Amino acid sequence: MKHIERIGPLWFIRGQNRGRYPYCHSIFLPEAGILIDPASDRETLTQMRDEGLVKAIWLSHWHEDHFKDLDLFDDLPFFIARKDAPPLSSLEEFLAGYDSEEDFAYWQQVLLTEFHFRPRYPAGYLIPGTTVVLPGTRVDVIAAPGHTPGHVALFFQEGEILFLADYDLTPFGPWYGDHNSSIEDTLASLRYLRNIPARVWLTSHETGIFTSSPGELWDKYEGVVYEREKRLLQALEKPKTMEEIVNLWIIYGRPREPRAFFAFGERAHMKKHLKSLIDRGLVTHKNGLFSRAD
């Protein structure tokens, strides 16, 4: 089968386009028949389904670029952390953070057509702090909130392989743009994960496999968060409206299409940073204008 690399007890299935959104890399545990994050390569996943290899699905978290091909396995049980289950139960829940009608309409369409969204209910939960004993390996389920509240990392004891999921160590940096994401939890999860001893590190996007310690990539990845904040704070030396802040494109670097997608991401991250800066007394918000407090 194409796009598959065998690592210890698991298969690493490369996502299309280096696993960049709307794809991710998938992981498969052949002895247990567990497929994790089915959104890598539809052809390969279809073949695996047709050969009867897959018995159950696990999701690292609720994002659409991790369940794009879940519709191939709708007859199988799926598992996710309890905190991340609600968005999958309906489009309204999924889109709860989208306050403009235009954004809602755009996303509704994209989720139904491109991501095969349908309401889904887990057969059971991945419980952080527990170890799941499977044929082939034991798997530690690790709470890694921030990106989403129920985001989990997985440690495969056989082979000492740590799956970081969307703490993906890419140059873009961490995503914490949803209404229930958190910058502080993201930073805490990064610090926790980097201290777990492992032999191999796997991520959901881009490079995907690290056979030696990611080392300074951890610092760079975390540093993106501080860089975003620094640039926002500099820009607020002159007071700005939310629209003006979005148009700085601090997250994405420049305006991109489709605008509804990228403007949402830009605004969502800026809101998180503004809240954090206001909470620390570094920024004020008066008459619709944000400005540095000093």
Residues that bind Zn ion (CB under 5 A): 63, 166
HSE at residue 36, side-chain half, CA atoms within 13 A, is: 30
Residue number, 63 or 228, with CB nearest to Zn ion: 63
Which residues are bridge partners to 109 per DSSP?
none
Tokens 């690290």 belong to 210
Tokens 């704070």 belong to 233
CB contact at 8 A, 21 and 39? no
Residue number, 137 or 186, with CB nearest to Zn ion: 186
* Spatial distance between the Cα atoms of 10 and 121, rounded to a whole number of angstroms: 26
Write the CA distances from 51 to 1, 31, 44, 77, 224, integer angstroms.
11, 14, 11, 17, 43
* Nearest approach, Cβ of residue 38 and Zn ion (Å): 14
**Tokens of residue 38, six digits:** 């089915």
* Nearest approach, Cβ of residue 96 and Zn ion (Å): 16
The rounded radius of gyration (Å) of the Cα atoms in the chain is 19
What one-letter code names the amino acid at 55? K
* Nearest approach, Cβ of residue 248 and Zn ion (Å): 24
Residue number, 236 or 266, with CB nearest to Zn ion: 266
* Nearest approach, Cβ of residue 63 and Zn ion (Å): 3
Q: Give the nearest residue (CB) to Zn ion.
A: 63
* Nearest approach, Cβ of residue 266 and Zn ion (Å): 17
Residue number, 34 or 39, with CB nearest to Zn ion: 39
* Nearest approach, Cβ of residue 286 and Zn ion (Å): 34
Residue number, 228 or 240, with CB nearest to Zn ion: 228
Helices (H) and strands (E) in the chain, counts: 8, 15
* Spatial distance between the Cα atoms of 101 and 286, rounded to a whole number of angstroms: 26
Residue number, 25 or 63, with CB nearest to Zn ion: 63
